[in-house]
Amino acid sequence: MDRTPARLGGFLALVVAFLALATTPVAAQSVNKALINNLNRKLLYVALPLMMSVEFIIFYTIYRYRNNDDPAPTEENRRLEITWTVVTAIILAFVGIASMVVLANPYISPVVAADNSPQGGGTNHYLQGAVQPDDPNAVEIEVLAYQWGWEFRYMDQENVTTKKKLVIPKGRDVYLHVSSKDVIHSFYSPKLGLKQDAMPGTYATIRTKATEEGVYPFYCAEFCGSGHARMGGDVVVVSNEEYRTWVREQRNGGNATASAVADAKDGAASGNDTNLIGNATTETGSDTDLLENATNGTENGTETPNPRLRAGDATGAPSVGSA
């Protein structure tokens, strides 16, 4: 008895199991990322068996009829045709429903309120296209892209603006109202599952809730000119207590530098790894100098081991770094 088809089927089953285990995503860092990971996992569990079944049929047919020198035409089989049509319809319905459930989630597709002018106290002008939060405790941030950098205006805080660093609290809804000052850009933070085009003259809103503290890079995902590759930065997720402390320091302006440096030293002495915004330095030079330094890996002639700690805010307030 020829056991080749059975062995081939067993081998393909092992491959499917291995791929399913190997592609299981790690814990998500935000609600958005969790939704995307769950959808991808569902589609993967459908696609892998389907793909391996097709491959098994192909290899079996090749092996089974390898010596057939006089093949006969396939006869009409109404039952088989109905079967694969129904199975295909079921698969497509599952994919469509699973995708629509994720797309309908307010963290993926924020709902536009009747009055969509944000409630922020720091910026009172109307943001065309922005989505107003339904939670009074939500954090609103105006994200402005330009050639070639990012500006973050904390709308619920007066006089708090940063560049290249986006600091948000863990466990709270955050609304990012994204727009552009010149050409089309795109805000993209893959580890947090965030992506939104920045269009001149209008706003689009990202709603998210971070679930893990840490520093997550973001990029511009839309080619926007010669400085496109330098349009990067970090999303820094901190605890609510650290976020409130950081906001107070930003409001205090120059007085924040000393306290931030002191906090950094205290954290280093105690071995505290969770203070993500403790390290702070005073920035000098223009935005152009910062971009050039990010490319060359040096700042003021001194090598900087971590370029993500260099960029501060627009007001000369302390930079936000990672512990």
What count of other Cβ atoms lies within 10 Å of the Cβ of residue 266?
Answer: 12
The whole-number pLDDT of residue 23 equals 54
The whole-number pLDDT of residue 26 equals 59
The CATH number for 139-309, chosen from 3.30.70.100, 1.20.1270.10, 1.10.8.60, 2.60.40.420, is: 2.60.40.420
pLDDT along the chain (323 residues), means of 10: 58 60 66 92 89 90 86 83 92 93 92 50 59 87 94 87 92 93 94 93 93 94 92 94 92 52 38 44 37 38 38 40 36
- State how far the Cα of 308 lies from the Cα of 323, in Å rounded to an integer: 12
First-to-last C-alpha distance (Å) of the chain? 65
How far is CA 201 from each of CA 194, 277, 319, rounded to the nearest angstrom? 21, 33, 29
The whole-number pLDDT of residue 146 equals 94
What count of other Cβ atoms lies within 10 Å of the Cβ of residue 24?
Answer: 10
Domain residue ranges in the chain: 4-60+84-103, 139-309
Kindly provide the b/e burial profile for residues 188-198, where b requires at least 16 CB atoms within 10 angstroms of the residue's own CB.
bbebbbbbbbb
